[in-house]
């Protein structure tokens, strides 16, 4: 059995960025991804927004990692030639009663270190974004959009160039302690290759929708820690292409008070396509198999066309030209949330209990996990350094 320094479970944007960060430090690294390629799961099913960081309670990991992650991602995309557009974002107040909330977000964002935030009145807003009607807005010029899957692939290439073994079609199915090493059991997803086992001094769990299952496989009581993931779907509807170019910036409503989501917003992609989403669909049952693992790409991502009316109702206040027939079901993504409603921070934790030493868990990496990926990766690599010291 061969031995290596660090095994990373999960080749989403977080696992790929972590593999690059660890390989750069000169450690031997294996990245395990069960899908046929990296970045195919939640990483490629989201709004692709590089968030500013004005929503998250001050001092939380979400606030800190989002702010540093956005700066790092912008630099990384420029270096690695991955698509990125600093298009800017507006949070709009439907009427005077919501202006207080914009002021609160302005103050919170400033405290979190978000640059260049500015409150706009109705006239300034209509000059900047004539396609949108609202009483006032919070303008975040540093918010951007990116090619999220391209970011994951570029980090995986960078990791491989630094010597990491990026193994796709490779599913972790067993994890046990053998002395000071982790015994890592891998099942290969194609018939041409046998599975294998290897020893690893450190294991980093970056398994997204399956991170609670990986933690349980290692022997953690995920119920006691309140780490069992609550999966909720976020649906998107495409806006008819006859409106292409009508809105130039990302446009968000004032977020719902419970902190579960940012509200249905106007998403733009690098190709100029406009979508509305995501909403918040609580799933009646866990869509994953009852035990073990499955492919994210086998989960049900169908968008119920009946939801179009609610999307239209939610957006027509600030997009008065939007007609019900303009919306077509598009895609959806599934959030790995630590609570069904409300706010929970990312879990980034090195295990120190006997029997679990050497394990680093990243659990509940929901939004802004994409934006935070480089900062999460740096934090995970720092924890791996403590294990390997
Ligand atoms: C609807 C929606 C909108 C969002 N919008 C944004 C946004 O605009 N901006 C933002 O910053 N964030 C956003 N997010 C959050 C962001 O998408 C996630 O936080 C981020 O993609 C998480 O990346 P990840 O690498 O942790 O997870 P994933 O991309 O899910 O990757 C985890 C990987 O682990 C693999 N894996 C799991 N188990 C195993 C195993 N046993 N063996 C091998 N491999 C395994 C999976 O196949 C998967 O590829 C959004 C999320 C959703 C759902």
In a domain, 21, yes or no: yes
Residue to substitute in 168, 197, 215, 370 for testing ligand 1 pocket (most ligand atoms within 8 angstroms of CB): 370
pLDDT for 163 equals 98
pLDDT for 13 equals 98
Low-confidence residues of the chain: pLDDT under 50:
none
In a domain, 166, yes or no: yes
pLDDT for 191 equals 67
pLDDT for 321 equals 96
In a domain, 261, yes or no: no
pLDDT for 261 equals 73
Distance from the alpha carbon of residue 366 to the mean position of ligand 1, in angstroms: 7
Q: For 174-232, where are the alpha helices, taking DSSP H only? A: 211-217
In a domain, 22, yes or no: yes
In a domain, 56, yes or no: no
The position carrying tokens 């949070």 is 91
Structural domains of the chain, count = 1
Condensed to tens digits (0 to 9), the pLDDT of residues 27-68 reads 999 999 999 999 999 999 999 999 999 999 999 999 999 999
The CATH number of the domain holding residue 15 is 3.50.50.60
Using a 10 angstrom Cβ sphere, with 0-12 exposed, 13-18 middle and 19 or more buried, the burial of residue 25 is: middle
Task: Give the C-alpha separation, 160 to 146, whole Å.
Answer: 22
Distance from the alpha carbon of residue 161 to the mean position of ligand 1, in angstroms: 23
Task: Give the C-alpha separation, 251 to 247, whole Å.
Answer: 8
Percent of the chain that is helix, strand, coil (3-state, to 5): 30, 30, 40
In a domain, 263, yes or no: no
pLDDT for 323 equals 96
In a domain, 239, yes or no: no
List all residues 6 or more positions away from 90 whose beta carbon is below 8 Å from its beta carbon. 120, 125, 128, 129, 132, 134, 137, 138, 139, 140, 249, 250, 251, 252
Distance from the alpha carbon of residue 143 to the mean position of ligand 1, in angstroms: 20
Distances in Å between the Cα of 246 and the Cα atoms of 141, 213, 266, 272, 274 are 18, 44, 11, 10, 9
372 lies in which domain range?
A: 3-45+149-227+344-388
Task: Please identify, by atom number, the ligand 1 atom nearest to the C-alpha of residue 15.
Answer: 25
Task: Give the C-alpha separation, 124 to 115, whole Å.
Answer: 19
What is the value of pTM for the model shown? Answer: 0.97
Residue to substitute in 8, 21, 41 for testing ligand 1 pocket (most ligand atoms within 8 angstroms of CB): 41
Distance from the alpha carbon of residue 208 to the mean position of ligand 1, in angstroms: 5
Task: Please identify, by atom number, the ligand 1 atom nearest to the C-alpha of residue 173.
Answer: 41
Distance from the alpha carbon of residue 132 to the mean position of ligand 1, in angstroms: 31
pLDDT for 192 equals 67
pLDDT for 15 equals 98
In a domain, 353, yes or no: yes
């Amino acid at each position: 059995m061969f031995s290596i320094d660090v095994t990373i479970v999960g080749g989403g944007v977080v696992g790929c960025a972590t593999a690059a960060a660890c390989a750069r430090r000169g450690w031997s690294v294996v990245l395990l991804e069960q899908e046929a390629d990296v970045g195919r799961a939640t990483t490629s099913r989201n709004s692709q927004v590089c968030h500013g960081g004005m929503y998250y309670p001050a001092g939380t990991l979400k606030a800190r990692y989002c702010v540093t992650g956005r700066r790092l991602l912008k630099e990384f995309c420029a270096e690695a030639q991955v698509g990125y557009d600093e298009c800017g974002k507006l949070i709009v107040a439907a009427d005077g009663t919501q202006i207080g909330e914009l002021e609160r977000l302005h103050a919170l964002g400033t405290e979190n270190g978000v640059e260049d935030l500015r409150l706009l009145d109705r006239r300034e807003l209509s000059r900047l974004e004539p396609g949108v009607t609202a009483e006032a807005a919070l303008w975040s010029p540093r918010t951007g959009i990116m090619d999220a899957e391209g970011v994951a692939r570029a980090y995986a290439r960078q990791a491989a160039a630094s010597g990491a073994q990026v193994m796709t079609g490779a599913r972790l199915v067993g994890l046990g302690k053998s002395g000071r090493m982790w015994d890592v059991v891998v099942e290969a997803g194609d018939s041409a290759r046998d599975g294998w086992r290897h020893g690893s001094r450190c294991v980093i769990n970056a398994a997204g929708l399956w991170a609670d299952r990986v933690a349980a496989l290692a022997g953690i009581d995920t119920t006691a820690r309140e780490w069992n993931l609550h999966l909720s779907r976020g649906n998107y509807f495409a806006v008819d292409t006859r409106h292409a170019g009508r809105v130039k910036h990302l446009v968000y409503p004032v977020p719902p008070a419970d902190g579960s989501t940012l509200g249905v917003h106007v998403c733009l992609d690098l190709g100029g396509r406009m979508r509305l989403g995501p909403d918040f669909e609580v799933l009646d049952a866990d869509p994953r198999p009852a035990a073990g693992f499955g492919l994210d790409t086998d989960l049900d991502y169908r968008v119920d066309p009946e939801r179009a009316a609610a999307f239209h109702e939610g957006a027509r206040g600030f997009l008065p030209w939007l007609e019900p027939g303009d919306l077509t079901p598009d895609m959806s993504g599934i959030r790995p949330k630590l609570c069904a409603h409300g706010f929970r921070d990312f879990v980034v934790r090195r295990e120190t209990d006997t029997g679990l030493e050497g394990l680093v868990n990243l659990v509940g990496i929901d939004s802004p996990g994409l934006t935070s990926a480089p900062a999460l990766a740096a934090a995970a690599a720092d924890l791996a350094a403590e294990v390997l010291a």
